Amino acid sequence: MVFETVGVVGLGTMGAGIAEVFARAGIRVVGVEADQEALDRGLGHLEASTGRALEKGRLSAGEREEILSRVTLTTSRDDLRDADLVVEAIPEVMEYKVALFTDLDRICKPSAVLATNTSSLQVTALAAATGRPGRVVGMHFFNPAPVMGLVEVVGTVVTEPGVVTSVSDLAVRLGKTPVAVGDRAGFVVNRLLLPYLNHAVTLLDHGVAARDDIDNAMRLGVGLPMGPFSLLDLIGLDTSYEIMGVLFEESRSERHVPSPLLRSYVAAGWLGRKSGRGFYGESAAESTPEKAAASTVRVEGSQELAATLAAAGFKDSAEPDVVLRVGEAALGERVVQVRVTGKVAELSGSVLTSRQAVLCARDLLRVAGYTPVPCRRSVIDALLYAHLNDAVHMYSSGYASIADIDAAMRLGCGYPQGPFELMESIGLAKVRDGLRALYAEHLSPSFAPAPLLDQLVTAGLDAFPRA
Ligand SMILES: NC(=O)c1ccc[n+]([C@@H]2O[C@H](COP(=O)([O-])OP(=O)(O)OC[C@H]3O[C@@H](n4cnc5c(N)ncnc54)[C@H](O)[C@@H]3O)[C@@H](O)[C@H]2O)c1
């Protein structure tokens, strides 16, 4: 299959970026918009994006001209008659997309491949709306398309052999990494990412920890590029809620029940950055730096933490202001449980712990250079382990390979490591045991260790099988 002319329908956030990606790879692009005004906006996106690349020295003026000259803009779909491939990037509404695909099927030559950039609609349903279901695929780019390195190529049960491979080869030609998957709601990235983000909202809703503390835990403790609430604000709370709905519709799994708090925010019109307010508002009040109110501290269970605090000037005493307990829990008015992950110190009190002791612990850990995360129970364990467990379930179900899932999460979400790489660096036994403890506490299927993980640990292995 040769792709020399490509149509892009809808030149909004995604379509304009997708058109740029093709044009950069030397491919002729026919960009189609609904009307002249939208077409002008689309051209504006293209000019701004390539203009930024020019300013940053990533493109020369000549290259920019060449890229722009490869793009023909039109409001007539009939101009797509010679396209070898058409990528659709109009709004995420099934009715609109079905109408468009029916029309494209009539206009485009029989050999043309029709692709959708949908994030959550069923590709099979779009294929079935055409007379060429075997040549309809998903080509799911990530935002911003010129920057993000991943393309999920979605084949359906009716896709002709070879079409997914040809489109994947094209993605490589575009400088992207393709991951070929079947038509399941959310594909790889959204199916793993959104339930994790939704879970973070549930923890906030249940008062397990505060917004900033949860974001800090995942960003600074786990090393993810953004905390879940910043990311939800970026993706859009409405989009996130819709994707959760689609996942739940398909799986009926407890893990995919959209959070009621997320629904309330959407209903209130708090959609994230696009509406000016989401989990973060217009005027997040800066908290004033606090000083440690404690001067004496005892650390139990970690010589490293004891040494760090001693170096920061805190002394031990027979009657310390606060006892920081690492490892097994203990009860006491001044006892605060601490778990250190990287530079994050999660701290939680028991029913007996005084508020004062928790505040002292928070302040002195901050002075000692940690980012304190007060929480009722570990945020990192709950969020991360359930997220990793989902990845094992996805692999075990035969949906995607370990290498593809890792690549998808690295390239699609900017994770420093894919979920399987991360589990191996944490230790499979630690993840399995963490999940077991969470399951014993919550009895939620999300926390029941995936059988493959459990079996690998039982067999004494510390890595996943890779082909
Ligand atoms: N925004 C993201 O982060 C993102 C990421 C991946 C995939 N997607 C998917 O990409 C698709 C587009 O999303 P978006 O965020 O770019 O939307 P958008 O609203 O920014 O852009 C949609 C564009 O389509 C145009 N349009 C509408 N009807 C049209 C028609 N009949 N013919 C031609 N053009 C038409 C609109 O004028 C608009 O410019 C959706 O399916 C979405 O799920 C979005």
Q: Which atom of ligand 1 is nearest to the CA of 42?
A: 39
- The whole-number average pLDDT for the span 254-270 is 97
Contacts of 451 (CB under 8 A, 6+ apart): 396
Q: Does residue 291 have a pLDDT over 90?
A: no
| Residue 143 Cα: closest atom of ligand 1 | 3
Least confident stretch, 85-99, 195-209, 289-303, 349-363: 289-303
Q: Quick one: 268 and 323 in the same domain?
A: no
Domain-embedded: residue 250: yes
Active site residue 295: no
- Cβ 305 vs Cβ 324: under 8 Å: yes
State whether 365 and 438 are in the same domain: no
Nearest protein CA to atom 36 of ligand 1, as residue = 10
How many Cβ atoms from other residues are within 10 Å of residue 244's Cβ? 25
**Residue from 119, 120, 198, 216 carrying the catalytic annotation:** 119
Question: What band does 114 get if pLDDT is binned at 50, 70 and 90?
Answer: very high
State the distance from the centre of ligand 1 to the C-alpha of 15, rounded, in angstroms: 6
Region 370-395: mean pLDDT is: 97
Segment 38-63 mean pLDDT: 96
Q: Distance from the CA of 139 to the center of ligand 1, in angstroms?
A: 13
Q: Is 54 within the bounds of a domain?
A: yes
Domain stops at, among 315, 350, 374: 374
Mutate to test the pocket of ligand 1, among 90, 92, 193, 243 (most ligand atoms within 8 A of CB): 90
119 assigned to active site: yes
In terms of domains, do 95 and 135 share one?
yes
| Same domain, yes or no: 13 and 118 | yes
Q: Which residue among the candidates 20, 152, 168, 256 is catalytic per the annotation?
A: 152
Q: Are residues 42 and 154 in the same domain?
A: yes
Q: pLDDT-based confidence at 294, cuts 50/70/90?
A: confident
Question: Does some domain include residue 244?
Answer: yes
Q: Of 89-103, 314-328, 370-384, which gets the smallest average pLDDT? A: 314-328
Point out the ligand 1 atom lying closest to the alpha carbon of residue 16: 16
Q: Mean pLDDT throughout 112-130? A: 97
Quote the mean pLDDT of the chain: 95
In this structure, the number of other CB atoms found within 10 A of the CB of residue 376 comes to 12
322 found inside a domain: yes
* Co-location of 212 and 172 in the same domain: no
At 292 the pLDDT is 54
CATH number at residue 165: 3.40.50.720
- 242 catalytic, yes or no? no
- Mutate which of 9, 11, 13, 235 for ligand 1? The one with the most ligand atoms within 8 Å of its CB, which is 13
Number of domains in the chain: 4
Same domain, yes or no, for 17 and 101?
yes
Q: What is the pLDDT of residue 467?
A: 74
Provide mean pLDDT across the span 166-186: 97
Q: Residues of the chain with pLDDT > 70: what percent?
A: 98
Stretch 427-434: mean pLDDT: 98
Let me know if residue 132 belongs to a domain.
Answer: yes
Q: Residue 105: its pLDDT value, please?
A: 98
280 lies in a domain? no
First to last CA, the chain: 29
């379930």: which residue's tokens?
A: 393
User: Which residues' Cβ are closer than 6 Å to ligand 1?
Assistant: 9-15, 32-34, 38, 89-92, 96, 100, 117-119, 143
> What is the structure's pLDDT at 127?
98
Residue 99 CA: nearest ligand 1 atom is 31
CB 332 within 8 A of CB 353: yes
Task: Pick the atom of ligand 1 nearest to 118's CA.
Answer: 41
Provide the 10 A C-beta neighbour count for residue 284.
Answer: 10
33-47, 224-238, 257-271, 305-319: the lowest-pLDDT one: 305-319
pLDDT tens-digit map of 192-204 = 999 999 999 999 9
Residue 337's identity, in one-letter code, is Q
157 assigned to some structural domain:
yes
Whether residues 84 and 119 share a domain: the answer is yes
- The residue annotated as part of the active site, out of 33, 88, 117, 140, is 140
205 shares a domain with 94: no
Please name the residue whose Cα sits nearest to atom 38 of ligand 1: 12
CATH number, residue 431: 1.10.1040.10
Cα separation of 258 and 272, whole Å?
17
**C-alpha to C-alpha distance for 158 and 365, rounded to whole angstroms:** 58
**Residue of the CA atom closest to atom 37 of ligand 1:** 38
- Report the pLDDT averaged over residues 414-438: 97
Are both 161 and 196 inside the same structural domain?
A: no
What distance in Å separates the CA atoms of residue 157 and residue 367, rounded to the nearest whole number? 58
Q: Show the domain range for 393.
A: 379-458
What are the distances in angstroms from CA 429 to CA 384, 397, 452, 461? Answer: 14, 21, 12, 9
Determine the distance separating the centroid of ligand 1 and the alpha carbon of 224, expressed in angstroms. Answer: 27
Which of 323, 341, 374 terminates a domain? The answer is 374
**What 8-state DSSP symbol labels residue 207?**
T
Q: Are 124 and 92 in the same domain? A: yes
Q: Is residue 466 part of a domain?
A: no
Confidence band, pLDDT 50/70/90 cuts, at residue 287: low
The answer to whether residues 451 and 387 belong to one domain is yes
Domain boundary among 181, 200, 218: 181
d(CA 239, CA 245) in angstroms, rounded, equals: 10
Q: Is 152 a catalytic residue?
A: yes
* pLDDT grade for 286, boundaries at 50, 70 and 90: low
Q: What is the pLDDT of residue 19?
A: 98
